[in-house]
A and B are shown apart, each in its own frame.
Chain A
Amino acid sequence: MARIVVDVMPKAEILERQWIGSVRALDRLGIAGVADVRQGKRFELEVDGDLSDEQLEQIAADVLTNTVIEDFTITRVNA
């Protein structure tokens, strides 16, 4: 078994008001110095056998993310 991690983040031009709200909440806690918060997703895949880089790319690009609005990085954790 191998573990594959796919980290997904919204593209730089995508903004969500809830992230701004998170920064304001930190302000209210008295924690200064956080200029920006962005929220993404992390997928952990348990994989039997070997998947090629091309197959992983297909899984990430065609299913796990919408590449119009999101970028991803693929990491093999204990291959």
Chain B
Amino acid sequence: MTRVGVITFPGTLDDVDAARAVERAGGEAVALWHKDHDLKGVDAVVVPGGFSYGDYLRAGAIASLAPVMTEVVEAAGKGMPVLGICNGFQILCEAGLLPGALTRNEGLHFVCRDQWLRVEATNTAWTSRYEAGAEILVPVKNAEGRFQASDAVLDELEGEGRVAFRYVGGNPNGSQRDIAGIASANGRVVGLMPHPEHATEALTGPSDDGLGIFYSALDAVLSA
């Protein structure tokens, strides 16, 4: 069975839902701890949401320097699929695995709502199960979700088809070009602010649209 690591830092909130999403998709979730110096032989990694280290210094800044992230950066360099959700996206940006930065929401409020996204890139390790242009409904909940990067970086992301998800039906936080999620140049690392792990069944979420992300990663591991 495909083993997907889910990292817990002090202050992580969504590791349990992320692990549950992995298992609903048919994978085996493996708990990883921020002090770990190895990835326990996992095939892919999810960096979940929350407030790692209390958002001290900057959201994701301290977590990006944790021992386990050294291992994640090295594994990502060898092509391991890595997904960052919300605070996890912030951590991957701080760790240099994804470009840009997440800053205070334009409206200064913590925004918590169900949000429509359009899947823009289906050639990444985490989005291959979606049809291009598919619209999915998943929760978004953050105060620092405004994606910002230089125009040159934004143009590069657009030009290379690395905008993975875009907000539709209203931009919740002022993210540049309505960007909700992006991918690395090789498509193996994806980060997004909204929470697909909270949308895996109708009982507890607005949809099960988020499951496709986890199915995609399992496919990516098997086809590698």
A residues near B, CB below 8 A? 13-14, 16-18, 63-64, 66, 68-69
How many Å from the CB of A64 to the closest CB on chain B?
7
Q: In the bound complex, do residue B148 and residue A69 qualify as a contact, i.e. CB atoms below 8 Å apart? A: yes
Q: A66 CA to B61 CA in the complex, in Å?
A: 8
B residues near A, CB below 8 A? 57-58, 61, 65, 93-94, 99-101, 103-104, 106-108, 148-150
Q: In the bound complex, do residue B99 and residue A63 qualify as a contact, i.e. CB atoms below 8 Å apart? A: no
Residues of A with C-beta under 8 A to B108: 17-18
Besides A13-B150, A68-B101, A68-B148, 16 more A-B contacts (Cβ < 8 Å) are A14-B103, A14-B148, A16-B104, A17-B106, A17-B107, A18-B104, A63-B65, A66-B58, A66-B61, A66-B93, A66-B94, A66-B101, A68-B100, A68-B150, A69-B103, A69-B148
Q: Is the interface of A mostly helix, strand, loop or mixed?
A: loop
How many Å from the CB of B35 to the closest CB on chain A?
18
Residues of B with C-beta under 8 A to A69: 101, 103, 148
For the complex of A and B, list the 7 residue pairs with the smallest distance between their C-beta atoms, beginning with the closest: A68-B101, A69-B101, A66-B101, A66-B58, A17-B108, A18-B108, A16-B104
Residues of A with C-beta under 8 A to B65: 63
Residues of A with C-beta under 8 A to B61: 63, 66
How many Å from the CB of A11 to the closest CB on chain B?
9
Which of B57, B93, B104, B106 is A68 in contact with, Cβ under 8 Å?
B93
